Chain A
Amino acid sequence: MEFKTVLTTCPYCGCGCGLLLEILDGRLIGTLPSKTSPVNQGRLCVKGWSVHEFVTSPNRLIRPLVRKADRLVESSWDEALDLSARRLKEIKERHGPDSIAVLTSAKCTNEENYLLQKLTRAAIGTNNIDHCARL
């Protein structure tokens, strides 16, 4: 038997609230706000309070899906990434880099977001990059 709480940062927005994931025998059973986090000081919003629910949700997207003849088909990461790269190149060549926009996420780390804007600006060649936390 093992029960422990693991301190981590809320993945939902850019605030960075500290939360504790409650783990019983390796299963995620709940979330508590961290009382000692200087950011949220023991408080959370409704999304933070329920972060443990999405981890094991059956609706969670855990494998890449590729659209084939109007149907989404489970595929390998290699296939999905190759297809994305090929199509992005084709669109860029035919319609120019500004025909592409990239939306990134507050759920990513700062560093991941940096990399995506670098890819968008340097590789694709557009300034069309935005972020859900700026809505």
Chain B
Amino acid sequence: MSKKIKETVRTLLVEGKIRGFLGLIERDGHVMPHLFGDPQELEHLSLGDHGRAGDARYPLNQILIQLMRAYPEETFAVLVRGCDERGLRELFKWQQLREEKVIPIGLGCPEELARACECEKPFPDNLLDGPKGEKVEGQKVARVNAMDIDARLRFWKAEFDRCIKCLGCRNICPMCFCKECTLEEANLIDSGEIPPANPTFHLVRAIHMVGRCIDCGLCEEACPADIPLRTLYKKVAEIVSEEFGYKTGYTVDEKSPFNIIEVK
């Protein structure tokens, strides 16, 4: 499946249009992020599938932010799935990346992965390779919505109770770019407590996902306590969509409700 991607990236590199391609490489049986500068390395390109479809995905946009902070005048290509493309759009709006310096290399997700993700749009508009899959109707949020409000609070508190405060959900998040993080603000969240303030800790993070979460699911995959974080942030997206009519990462010009300042 990677033939078209390899050819496109090779041309960009050979013609000097990009300084490098941020993607995934397979080495010694492991998949890891890598900046491809030499076309010959593309032989070892990986698309993030190891045992299952998309089980070796990494927050490439997060690495891209670091690369572009160090080299603001350079142009990079980056491997994007549907969720990553939504992420790029928001990161452009939040001025963490410059659109004219990023060339997305679009990869559509197979049905198996789209189903596991309950993905609303499992392909990027800049689709270069892979399928243009169908929207998958979600069951996870519906199951939580079906509980009455008391049962729902009990459900989430029981889930959050397992938290070991590894901060993996924040650390792996391609949309978390703040220099100071509320989760480490001692006046709001007591330090040295496990589990961290329940449900405050996780709800603070959930609120900060408004207009940010692009539903990539890396947080839930990184959680050692199996907290269904993706369901929580999908619920946040549902509220933001219903109340503010905003869908994160679907438009290039519209701003998220947290990004609008009205001066009266």
CB within 8 Å of B: which residues of A? 1-5, 7, 18, 20, 22, 24-25, 29-30, 32-37, 40, 42-46, 48-49
Beyond A42-B222, A43-B168, A43-B223, whether A1 also contacts B71 by CB under 8 A is: yes
Q: Is B221 positioned at the interface, with any CB of A under 8 Å from its CB?
A: yes
Question: Quick check: B165 and A46 within 8 Å, CB to CB?
Answer: yes
Question: Quick check: A2 and B37 within 8 Å, CB to CB?
Answer: yes
Residue of B nearest to A18 (CB): B30
Q: Is B136 positioned at the interface, with any CB of A under 8 Å from its CB?
A: no
Q: Is B50 positioned at the interface, with any CB of A under 8 Å from its CB?
A: yes
Complex interface: chain A residues within 8 A of B223 (CB): 43
Complex interface: chain B residues within 8 A of A29 (CB): 66
Complex interface: chain A residues within 8 A of B70 (CB): 1, 24-25
Tell me how many residues of B have a C-beta within 8 Å of chain A: 36
Question: Quick check: A5 and B32 within 8 Å, CB to CB?
Answer: yes
Question: Quick check: A44 and B166 within 8 Å, CB to CB?
Answer: yes
Beyond A33-B222, A35-B50, A49-B171, whether A2 also contacts B35 by CB under 8 A is: yes
Complex interface: chain A residues within 8 A of B58 (CB): 32, 35
Given contacts A24-B67, A35-B58, A45-B224, list 12 more A-B pairs with CB under 8 A. Answer: A1-B20, A1-B70, A1-B74, A2-B37, A5-B33, A7-B27, A7-B32, A18-B30, A34-B32, A43-B224, A44-B222, A49-B171
Question: Quick check: A49 and B56 within 8 Å, CB to CB?
Answer: no
* Neighbour of B34 across the interface among A4, A36, A45, A46, CB < 8 A: A4
Q: How far is the CA of A29 from the CA of B171 in the complex (A)?
A: 13
* Neighbour of A36 across the interface among B19, B33, B56, B171, CB < 8 A: B56
Beyond A4-B35, A49-B168, whether A35 also contacts B56 by CB under 8 A is: yes
Question: Quick check: B66 and A7 within 8 Å, CB to CB?
Answer: no
Complex interface: chain A residues within 8 A of B63 (CB): 3, 22
Chain B min CB distance to A97 (Å): 39
Q: Is B16 positioned at the interface, with any CB of A under 8 Å from its CB?
A: no
Complex interface: chain A residues within 8 A of B55 (CB): 35
Question: Quick check: B20 and A3 within 8 Å, CB to CB?
Answer: yes
Question: Quick check: B66 and A1 within 8 Å, CB to CB?
Answer: no
Beyond A1-B20, A1-B74, whether A46 also contacts B167 by CB under 8 A is: yes
Question: Quick check: B66 and A33 within 8 Å, CB to CB?
Answer: no
Sample 25 A-B pairs with CB under 8 A, ordered by A number: A1-B19, A1-B20, A1-B70, A1-B74, A2-B37, A3-B20, A5-B34, A7-B28, A25-B70, A29-B66, A30-B66, A32-B172, A34-B30, A35-B50, A35-B57, A35-B221, A36-B50, A36-B56, A42-B221, A43-B224, A44-B224, A45-B166, A45-B224, A49-B166, A49-B167
